[in-house]
Amino acid sequence: MADIGGFEADLSATAARVEAVLRTRLAPIGGRLGAAMRHAALGGGKRLRPFVVLRAAALFGIAEAVAMPAACALELLHCYSLVHDDLPAMDDDDLRRGLPTVHRAFDEATAILAGDGLLTLAFETLADPTAHPDAAVRAELVVELARAGGTNGMIGGQMRDLAAEGRFAAGLPLTLSEAEIATLQAMKTGALFRFAALAGAILGGAGEADRQRLAAYGAALGRAFQIADDLLDEEASADQVGKATAKDRTRGKATLPALIGPGAARDRLGEAVAEASAALAGYGDRAAPLVAAAQYAAARQR
């Protein structure tokens, strides 16, 4: 078991550096739109996805400053997804990170445009020549992030999630199997974590074997994160996690705790952490921060 306390200190310090870069990137955007984008992206969040980008890149000798644009691009895309997830037409949440969601702090139209702004800024950040001197590396990162966030990744997973919720709302039985829920969550949550780890290998010019190891790690980390998130929704308080809880089951969301029970879901959580750690076994102590990230994702209380 990694030193979770030491990991949390590392994560917090890294998050502060990511936050500083995001603040600089968002500062020139004026007016109500800029204020809404900053409300969405700054002042909170674990920044676990950019942390994984930075530590995965470090495995291949890439300095944090070099990997930071890719890390921030991923976080901007992630923040966009949260803004849209929180909208009344989606999850209809009033709180995010202990603060009013963007559509509550501003209005729905502004929230939609703020999310759009964060998404497009993510790709501008990644495609800019300052992101990496090699245009081929930048292009590969752009393609992989688009895949992770697109119809075969996060957006496709969200659509499957809404379809399951719609069946529940219509009084129809939930018919997703455990394997189908795993696929949904691998798309909805796992794809961005997979990109986070893979981006480090791309930045480092790693070969195919390394890329497959990092992608496998990211996918397992994403699975652990989502199962832990589903368990928190069932068992934690809103004050504890900074957003409304106990909503997934009442809305008929397809989650492992709802299908197989919390105990069995915790078994799957342990399996995901073990799989993430095993994928990194060849890197020895150099991968310790990434192993700790998987353990943290499973053990977190918010």
pLDDT in tens, 113-162: 999 999 999 999 999 999 999 999 999 999 999 999 999 999 999 999 99
Judge if pTM exceeds 0.95.
no
Task: Map out the domains of the chain as residue ranges.
Answer: 4-299
Give pLDDT, residue 64: 98
Instruction: Identify the band that residue 89 occupies on the pLDDT scale cut at 50, 70 and 90.
Output: very high
Cβ contacts of 217 within 8 Å, gap of 6 or more: 197, 276, 279, 280, 290, 294
Q: What is the pLDDT of residues 9-51, one digit of tens each?
A: 999 999 999 999 999 999 999 999 999 999 999 988 899 999 9
Which H or E run includes 145?
Answer: helix 135-149
CA distance 169 to 250: 10
Q: Is the pLDDT of residue 5 over 60?
A: yes
Q: Is the pLDDT of residue 167 over 90?
A: no
Q: Which of 294, 227, 218, 296 is nearest to 267 (CA)?
A: 227
CA distance 209 to 215: 10
- Top CATH class of 4-299 equals mainly alpha
